């Protein structure tokens, strides 16, 4: 038994999709979630900034006695994988588990990847999928409008601004006849209904958050690190009341986040 919490971090609301996925698989674990809302969006940051921020986020969760950490952020996972891998605690990023799931998609239809601008620029999602699924056509796209819309509450599939943004960003995925689409930014799981409405049921949506939760579950069981009392604590570097309200709406239960000071690069 190891009752220490599992740490999960993201730039804001997106990593809550990993919290929900992990909760379903490991209801007894304690979780400590950090939303770096003061610095959202990560997708507009430079690689140099992201390297520093990745370490700061890991260190913050380690200071809360995390036994393992999920980098529930595609942007950090694709730009700072060596920092995640070299960290002195078990750390899972979303890139590898997401790509492994995409490589298992049967058929010959093109495979789509959507992620933040910084993730697509890093090229790591494309490289990893090319390696795991050689010869398969890949279409990778940045969707820079999605995170600001989600963080400002435009998450309903009926929301006109969101529908417009989804249509504009994902037209090339539809035109390419993709068979599956990796949601390589954890925020995108929050708008999966809007994405599914536009692309239709023939495009399988693969959630990087679901994939990392499954991987973390297997890893903790293999390491004998499971145990806890099912508590979740939330911290944000932004406005605690605003984050609590938005997170409560997404999680379907009232939560109260605590503020931690914003970190500087």
Residues with Cβ within 8 Å of residue 42, at least 6 apart in sequence:
11, 36, 50, 53, 73, 75, 76, 116, 118
Nearer to ligand DGL, 29 or 36 (CB): 36
DSSP-based three-state secondary structure for 215:
helix
User: Are 157 and 163 a contacting pair, CB within 8 Å?
Assistant: yes
Least CB distance from residue 177 to ligand DGL, whole Å? 26
Contact status: 42 vs ligand DGL (CB under 6 A): yes
By CB under 6 A, how many residues form the interface with ligand DGL? 17
Phi and psi at 114, nearest 5°, equal -120, 140
Please indicate whether residue 73 is annotated as part of the active site.
yes
Contact status: 75 vs ligand DGL (CB under 6 A): yes
Q: Given candidates 14, 97, 98, 179, which one binds ligand DGL under the rule CB under 6 A?
A: 14
Contact status: 186 vs ligand DGL (CB under 6 A): yes
Please indicate whether residue 217 is annotated as part of the active site.
no
Q: In the 8-state DSSP scheme, what is residue 135?
A: T
Among the residue ranges 5-13, 18-26, 127-135, 189-197, the one whose residues contact ligand DGL (CB under 6 A): 5-13
Helices (H), the chain: 16-25, 47-63, 74-79, 81-85, 95-103, 117-122, 124-132, 146-151, 160-176, 192-199, 208-223, 240-251
Least CB distance from residue 149 to ligand DGL, whole Å? 11
- Residue 34's DSSP bridge partners are 9, 235
Nearer to ligand DGL, 113 or 147 (CB): 147
Residues with Cβ within 8 Å of residue 143, at least 6 apart in sequence:
114, 115, 116, 165, 169, 170, 185, 188
213-242: contacts with ligand DGL (CB under 6 A)? none
Among the residue ranges 53-61, 70-78, 157-165, 227-235, the one whose residues contact ligand DGL (CB under 6 A): 70-78
Taking each helix axis from N to C terminus, what angle separates 95-103 and 208-223, rounded to the nearest 10 degrees? 110
Q: Given candidates 73, 99, 170, 173, which one binds ligand DGL under the rule CB under 6 A?
A: 73
Nearer to ligand DGL, 119 or 232 (CB): 119
Binding site for ligand DGL (CB under 6 A): 10-12, 14, 40-43, 73-75, 116, 119, 147, 185-187
What are the residue numbers of the active site? 73, 185
């Amino acid at each position: 038994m190891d009752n220490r919490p599992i740490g999960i971090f993201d730039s804001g609301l997106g990593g809550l999709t990993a919290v929900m996925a992990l909760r379903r698989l490991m209801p007894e674990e304690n979780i400590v979630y950090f939303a770096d809302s003061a610095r959202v969006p990560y997708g507009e940051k430079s690689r140099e900034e992201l390297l520093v921020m990745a370490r700061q986020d890991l260190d913050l969760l380690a200071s809360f006695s995390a036994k393992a950490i999920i980098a529930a952020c595609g942007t950090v996972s694709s730009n700072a994988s060596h920092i995640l891998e070299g960290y002195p605690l078990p750390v899972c990023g979303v890139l590898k588990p997401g790509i492994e799931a995409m490589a298992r998609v049967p058929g010959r239809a093109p495979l789509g990847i959507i992620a933040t601008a910084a993730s697509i620029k890093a090229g790591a999602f494309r490289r990893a999928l090319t390696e795991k699924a050689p010869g398969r056509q890949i279409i990778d796209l940045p969707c820079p409008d999605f995170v600001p819309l989600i963080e400002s509450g435009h998450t309903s599939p009926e929301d006109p601004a969101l529908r417009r943004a989804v249509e504009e960003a994902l037209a090339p995925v539809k035109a390419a006849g993709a068979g599956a689409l990796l949601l390589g930014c954890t925020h995108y799981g929050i708008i999966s209904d809007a994405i599914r409405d536009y692309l239709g049921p023939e495009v399988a949506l693969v959630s990087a958050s679901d994939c990392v939760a499954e991987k973390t579950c297997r890893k903790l069981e293999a390491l004998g690190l499971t145990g806890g009392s099912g508590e979740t604590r939330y911290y944000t570097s932004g406005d605690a009341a605003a984050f609590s309200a938005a997170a409560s709406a997404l999680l379907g239960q009232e939560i109260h986040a605590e503020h931690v000071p914003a970190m500087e690069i």
